[in-house]
Every structure is written in C-alpha cells, then in structure tokens.
C-alpha cells in the first residue's frame, strides 16, 4: 500500500506536469482534507499507509485539481481572517487581500455604541462574519444578488452563532433604491471590479470556475463603485463611512467617484504587495 509520503511525492510530480502552481502545497492540502488533519500533521505520518477508499478519493481530488478547479471548491472550505468558511462554486473564493479591508474596518470602529453595517455583495459572508466576530457591538445587513450565495452565507453565520446579528437580503444593488434601506454607520463592499477586457486574461481557476458575476462587471470594472457610492451617500448617517476593496490601478478613478459624491477624509491604503487595495471615505 502507498504511504503518505509516497502519495505526496507522486501527486506533486503529477500536478507539476499539469501546470499547477505550488504543486506540493496543493497535494498536501488535498490529502490533509481527506485524512481530516492539518497539513503540518502529515509530516508526522509519512509512513502511514492509505486505504483504498482514501486513495480513490485522493485520485478524484487530483483529477479535479489538474483540470484547474480551485482547491477551495474541491475541499469545500477556506480560511479567512482566522475563521473557516464553507464555500461552493456559487461564491467567490475569499482572498487574503480582503483581510486588509476587514482589518481597516475593524480598526475604524472606536465606539462601544451599536454600529449598523451594510455589507454589499456578501458572497459566503466572510467580511460580515469576520467583522461581527471581532466587534460585538455591530449589527449587519448583508446583501447579494445570488440566492445560492446567501444560502452559503447563512450556513456560515449559523456556524458562528451570529444569526441574531446578521440579516440577509437578496437584491440587485445596481437597481436598488435608497428607500429600500434604513440608515447605516458603515457601508462596505468588495465588488466585482475586473473589467471585461481583463477578465479574458485571468487564470483558468478564476475564469472557468468562479462565478462570473462576482468577478467582473462586464464593463470597465467601475460599474459597482459608480452605483454604490451615491447610494451610500444617501443611506449613511452623519460621519458614516464607506469602504471598498480596489482592483489594481483603480484607486485614482474610484477616488474621483468619492470626491464627485461629496465624500471627505478619503484614504487609500496599500496591501503587502504595495498595491492600492482599500479606499474609504466619510459622509459629513
């Protein structure tokens, strides 16, 4: 029977030949999921033989990954801001750079009073849930156009016992009206910001597997910023704040959208790659 180490070595070679980046890491994470252990635990069980059922499942995982299906969709979960989230192909896979958006938002809340937050395009609920688990004084309305995404978000909300603090609404923000909403202290969104032109250049994992509506606006990449910013101006309380994640090269254009809509104290922060990643502004 094949051992853990033998299987990892063979699968690493296989994924390398298929053009999968970080082949060994992928091999180990897939196997760890099957063995219900952490990746580092594999180093303590190199001599462990795999059963036929484990090998068969692993071969299925490897085939899917060799066809560029994202690892997170194969395992059905992803870690974000220290929390584990259930995901499916109905939702965008949370990215590490979005953790910066959450970190900045959390740091901006300097009161113990109740804070009302609107999370636009919630997906699997990662932003709202990460914020709510770190700020006990917030209540969140999370919206998305996809009922399938909201179903996943509700599962994740239940897991962290936040049903009494996060409410969900299925709506299209591009046609939403301010009268649909109450007033909020914070509006936050990681909107689809990939332009139609750039979408065709994306890697296979994104282009062929992640929901297109969560990635691109099929236009110039600015559609949602242009729609959400004036709406936020109407529904934010005085001194309320708007937070966006940015796509690479969009900061100056989005800053102009903020300025045109009368936002003040506009701030742009870079991620670890020195890319302008988060923009925020205040309603006076």
| CATH number for the segment(s) 89-282 | 3.40.50.150
For range 199-205, the mean pLDDT:
93
CATH level 2 (architecture), domain 4-67: Orthogonal Bundle (1.10)
pLDDT value at residue 4: 97
Relative orientation angle of helices 126-134 and 98-108, to the nearest 10 degrees: 40
pLDDT value at residue 171: 96
Answer yes or no: pTM beyond 0.85.
yes
Contact 209, 264 (CB under 8 A): no
Phi/psi for 241 (5° steps) reads -125, 145
Q: Alpha-carbon distance 186 to 115, whole Å?
A: 8
CB contact set of 121 (below 8 Å; sequence gap of 6+): 143, 144, 145, 173, 189, 190, 191, 192, 214, 224
Q: Give, as one character, the DSSP assignment of residue 59.
A: H
Q: Alpha-carbon distance 84 to 260, whole Å?
A: 39
CB contact set of 69 (below 8 Å; sequence gap of 6+): 205, 209
pLDDT value at residue 26: 98
Q: What is the pLDDT of residues 35-90, one digit of tens each?
A: 999 999 999 999 999 999 999 999 999 999 999 999 999 999 999 999 999 999 99
Q: What is the pLDDT of residues 237-280, one digit of tens each?
A: 999 999 999 999 999 999 999 999 999 999 999 999 999 999 99
The distance of Cα 96 from the centroid of its chain, to the nearest Å, equals 8
Contact 119, 140 (CB under 8 A): yes
Domain assignments of the chain as residue spans, ordered by start: 4-67, 89-282
For range 225-234, the mean pLDDT:
98
Give the torsion sign (CA, 84, 89, 94, 96): positive
Query: Strand, coil or helix: what is 66?
Result: helix
The mean pLDDT value of the chain amounts to 97
For range 175-199, the mean pLDDT:
95
User: How many CB atoms neighbour CB 15 within 10 A?
Assistant: 21
Would you put residue 274 in left (φ > 0), alpha (ψ -120 to 50) or beta?
Answer: left
pLDDT value at residue 112: 87
Pick from 199, 76, 51, 184: nearest CA to 128:
184
Maximum distance among all alpha carbons in the chain?
A: 68
Residue 160 has pLDDT above 90, yes or no: yes
The pLDDT-based confidence of 1 (bands split at 50, 70, 90) is confident
Q: What is the pLDDT of residues 125-144, one digit of tens each?
A: 999 999 999 999 999 999 99
Query: Using H for helix, E for strand and C for coil, what is the string for 92-127?
Result: CCCCCCHHHHHHHHHHHCCCCCCEEEEEECCCCCHH
Residue 169 has pLDDT above 90, yes or no: yes
């Amino acid at each position: 029977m094949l051992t853990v180490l033998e299987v990892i070595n063979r699968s690493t070679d296989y994924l390398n030949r298929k053009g999968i980046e970080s082949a060994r890491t992928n091999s180990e994470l897939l196997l760890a999921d099957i063995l219900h252990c952490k990746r580092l635990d594999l180093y303590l069980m190199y001599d462990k033989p795999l059963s036929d059922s484990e090998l068969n499942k692993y071969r299925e995982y490897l085939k899917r990954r060799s066809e560029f299906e994202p690892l997170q969709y194969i395992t059905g979960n992803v870690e974000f801001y220290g929390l584990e989230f259930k995901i499916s192909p109905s939702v965008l896979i949370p990215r590490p750079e979005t953790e910066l958006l959450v970190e900045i938002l959390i740091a901006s809340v300097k009161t113990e009073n109740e804070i009302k937050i609107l999370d636009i395009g919630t997906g699997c609920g990662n932003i709202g849930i990460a914020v709510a688990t770190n700020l006990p004084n917030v209540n969140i309305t999370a919206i998305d156009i996809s009922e399938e995404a909201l179903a996943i978000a509700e599962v994740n909300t239940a897991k962290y016992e936040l049903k009494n603090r996060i409410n969900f609404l299925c709506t299209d923000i591009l046609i939403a009206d301010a009268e649909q909403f109450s007033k909020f202290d914070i509006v936050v969104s990681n909107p689809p910001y990939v332009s139609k032109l750039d979408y065709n250049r994306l890697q296979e994992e994104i282009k062929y597997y992640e929901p297109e509506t969560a990635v691109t606006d099929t236009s110039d990449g600015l559609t949602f910023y242009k729609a959400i910013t004036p709406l936020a101006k109407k529904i934010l309380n005085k001194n309320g704040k708007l937070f966006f994640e940015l796509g690479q090269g969009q900061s100056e254009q989005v800053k102009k959208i903020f300025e045109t809509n009368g936002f003040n104290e506009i701030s742009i922060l870079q991620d670890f790659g020195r890319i302008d990643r988060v923009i925020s502004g205040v309603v006076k």
